[in-house]
Amino acid sequence: MSKSLQKIERKILHLLHDRNTRTQLTEIHAHILRHGLHQSNQILSHFVSVCSSFHKMHYASLIFHQTHNPNILLFNSMIKGYSLSPPHHFSFHVFSLMKARSISPDEYTFAPLLKAVANLRHYRLGQCVHKHILALGYARHCSIRVGLVEFYAGCERMEDADKVFDEMRERDVIVWNLMVRGFCKVGDLDKGLRLFGEMKERSIVSWNIMISCLAERNEDEKALEVFREMLYKGFEPDDATLVTVLPVCARLGAADVAEWIHSYANDKGLLRDVIAVGNSLVDFYCKCGNLELAWSVFNEMACKNVVSWNAMISGLAYNGKGEVGVELFEKMVREGVKPSDSSFVGVLACCAHAGLVDRWCELFESMVVKFQLSPKLEHYGCVVDMLGRCGYVREAYELIRSMPMKPTAALWGALLSACRTYGERKIAEIAAKELIDLEPWNSGNYVLLSNIYAEEGRWDEVEKVRVLMRGSGIKKVAGQSATG
């Protein structure tokens, strides 16, 4: 290759790794074609890697299939690209093409294949890859072993992951993190905590994994304890840490920790730069009933997404400010933010808390017609709750009957509660029977139905309920009200 062509190659490689590459991919490709480098495996492998980082594997695929003699470098780049950017199973299509060309795979082939099966959660396919690795003698390579641990842990096969982990002489923080997350994910928190305690080196990711796993398992006090230990050890929380810890603070009422997080996020610019941190703070303050601070954070956010608006709207509903919540929803729409399913759950909850019966129909219609969203159980639940609160019991019942999905026990329970408030005994009987069908183990449902019959003097029916309870082996819980 001439020096001038080498210079052009270096220039193209520099362009490919420039931060503005995303908007210049087609121009760089034209540059490659213009200088006759469209068959250069080195250039194209870099091009594919960049396409993958921008989730443009369809473009990479077009380039790849126009290459006459792709080598292992280019094949590996394509396999790696699909392992990181869906569709992940295309990694195996490329692998099949490579074998068809009699190109032997190497460790840089199998590491991304393992990543692909980890993302696919395909246990049997991963086992086949593992057998190939063993047959070709690549199992000793560190990247392969890390890939195997990630695959087995991702498939929740921690016995297999533990076996590979035990065979590793060198274990970096990445593989320790995979093991900790894997054991916590399958519910073995004790093993996860033990491994976490054995780690000689931890990264911020290690702490985040442990805190989030504890939070997911409702071990809130332990999660907060680990967070405090992290701070004591000198680690600086990142945005992922704060987003994980704030809901824990809300559940525990740990206002002091949340205040520290608010101050820290301000100082580090995370409130300005990371929308999720602002969203979590809004949610925290709403759940703690501090609407003044929630509004303050919401209004100071430089950028908002639909989740930001949803958090504030739902928070207003939660705190009994339904009318303000509806106004905020309308402002969101005016500002061009497209509502999500959660937006409508929030605004319908606002209607329920404020008794805005005249608004729900209009909102429901706009949800379906204007925004093309299909109502879910949560949306119907908000409307049933609202109609029931306002005394429109028959309308609530008709809405439940018209639903395209099967009503839940929570819906029938809300209707039954409204029936008892407004004396709708006939519909109450229907709701109670539906509850018994859905929750035959719940003695409270039988007691409710029995009480409905007793209030009407229908003693034969009361006796039938008692017989049904005895026949089903259901015992009345002490303290529940029932006749006789």
Q: What is the tens place of the pLDDT at every residue in 235-275?
A: 999 999 999 999 999 999 999 999 999 999 999 999 989 99
In-domain check, residue 124: no
Q: Is 157 exposed, middle or buried (0-12, 13-18, 19+ CB in 10 A)?
A: middle
Going from the C-alpha of 374 to that of each of 334, 343, 404, 446, the distances in angstroms are 21, 13, 10, 34
Can you tell me the distance from the alpha carbon of 82 to that of 292, in angstroms, rounded to the nearest whole number? 47
Q: What angle do CA 173, 176, 179 make, to 5 degrees?
A: 155
Q: Residue 5 has what pLDDT?
A: 56
The values of phi and psi at residue 432, to 5°, are -65, -40
In this prediction, what percent of the chain has a pLDDT beyond 90? 68
Reported confidence tier of residue 176, pLDDT bands at 50, 70, 90: very high
Helices (H), 65-141: 72-84, 90-100, 107-120, 123-136
Band of residue 463 on the pLDDT scale cut at 50, 70, 90: confident
Q: What is the mean pLDDT of residues 27-48?
A: 74
Q: pTM of the entire structure?
A: 0.81
Considering the domain boundaries, does residue 185 fall inside one? yes
Considering only 21-25, 48-52, 211-215, which range has the smallest mean pLDDT?
21-25
Q: What per-residue confidence (pLDDT) applies to 305?
A: 97
For residue 107, pLDDT over 50 is answered with yes
For the chain, the average pLDDT equals 89
Higher pLDDT, 459 or 371: 371
Query: Hey, what amino acid is at 470?
Result: R
Tell me whether residue 209 is in a domain: yes
- Domain-embedded: residue 266: no
Domain that holds residue 229: 171-236
Asked if residue 27 is part of any domain, the answer here is no
The pLDDT value recorded for residue 482 is 45
Pick the more confident residue, 278 or 2. 278
Q: Is residue 97 part of a domain?
A: no
Q: Examine residue 197 and state whether it is found in any structural domain, yes or no.
A: yes
Torsion of CA 369, 372, 377, 379, to 10 degrees: -60
Q: What is the pLDDT at residue 479?
A: 44
Q: Is residue 482 part of a domain?
A: no
Tokens of 22: 């995303």
Q: In this structure, what are the phi and psi dihedrals at residue 289, rounded to the nearest 5 degrees?
A: 80, 10
Average pLDDT over residues 433-449: 83
User: DSSP string of 330-365?
Assistant: HHHHHTTPPP-HHHHHHHHHHHHHHT-HHHHHHHHH
Q: pLDDT category, 478, cuts 50, 70, 90?
A: very low
Under a CB-based contact definition with an 8 Å cutoff, are residues 298 and 278 in contact?
yes
Q: What is the pLDDT of residues 311-334, one digit of tens each?
A: 999 999 999 999 999 999 999 999
How many domains is the chain built from? 1
- At residue 404, the 3 state secondary structure works out as coil
